[in-house]
Amino acid sequence: MRVRIIVNLKPSVLDPQGKAVRAALKSLGFEGVDDVRVGKVIYLNLTGVDRGQVKEMVEEMCAKLLVNPVIETYEWEIVED
Amino acid sequence: MRVRIIVNLKPSVLDPQGKAVRAALKSLGFEGVDDVRVGKVIYLNLTGVDRGQVKEMVEEMCAKLLVNPVIETYEWEIVED
């Protein structure tokens, strides 16, 4: 099973990487780009894990390693069975 | 309009960050995690851009700045109007 976890900075947290991308897009002549935010996407290939256990497992992995809950939020989904 | 671009390393490209995450998950006791890949997610807030122009604009931004086509692939979608 393949799980995709998207980790984003909370809206209240400054995102210097996003600001740099925005400035670079502007300098390349792209108009109308108001705001840019950059996050991480993590794909996990899980084997021998039932569908029923996945939610708990992903939440535990996010809590223990993948996400810093002070500054980040996450969403996840199963992208392939 | 809010666009989400997900940028991933091509499957043939080594992903040391993914390998490190996998090893860390294993050392925390998570079994069954076969493979981990880490990519980027970029959110763009666009104003004054019509829906008809978005595809071309996003493809151009990816080609010129956001994606390295030698080692990366991307997918994008409009996540909010």
Each residue's pLDDT tens digit, B12-49: 999 999 999 999 999 999 999 999 999 999 999 999 99
Binary contact (A35, B48; C-beta < 8 A): no
Binary contact (A8, B41; C-beta < 8 A): yes
Q: Which two tokens stand for residue B75?
A: 């997918």
Compute the distance between CA of residue A46 and CA of residue A27 in angstroms, rounded to an integer.
42
- B30 lies within 8 A of chain A by CB: yes
The chain A residue lying nearest B48, using CA atoms, is: A32
Query: Quick one: what percent of chain B has pLDDT higher than 90?
Result: 98
Which CATH class, in words, describes the domain spanning A2-80? Answer: alpha beta
Compute the distance between CA of residue B4 and CA of residue A75 in angstroms, rounded to an integer.
14
Is 90 exceeded by the pLDDT of residue A75? yes
DSSP state letters, B3-30:
EEEEEEE-TTS--HHHHHHHHHHHHTT-
The chain B residue lying nearest A74, using CA atoms, is: B41
- At A11-27, the pLDDT tens digits run 999 999 999 999 999 99
Q: Which two tokens stand for residue A20?
A: 């740099």
Q: Average per-residue pLDDT in chain A? A: 96
Distance of CA B72 to the CA centre of its chain: 9
Compute the distance between CA of residue B79 and CA of residue A75 in angstroms, rounded to an integer.
14
Q: Which two tokens stand for residue B67?
A: 């994606």
* Residue from B44, B54, B59 to probe the interface with A (highest A Cβ count within 10 Å): B44
Is 90 exceeded by the pLDDT of residue A67? yes
Compute the distance between CA of residue A81 and CA of residue A21 in angstroms, rounded to an integer.
34
Compute the distance between CA of residue B40 and CA of residue A3 in angstroms, rounded to an integer.
15
pLDDT class of A81 with cuts at 50, 70, 90: confident
Mean pLDDT calculated for residue range A42-60: 95
Compute the distance between CA of residue B68 and CA of residue B62 in angstroms, rounded to an integer.
8
ipTM topping 0.85: yes
Is 90 exceeded by the pLDDT of residue B7? yes
Contacts of A28 (CB under 8 A, 6+ apart): B61, B64, B65
Query: Quick one: what percent of chain B has pLDDT higher than 70?
Result: 100
Domains of chain B, residue spans: 2-80
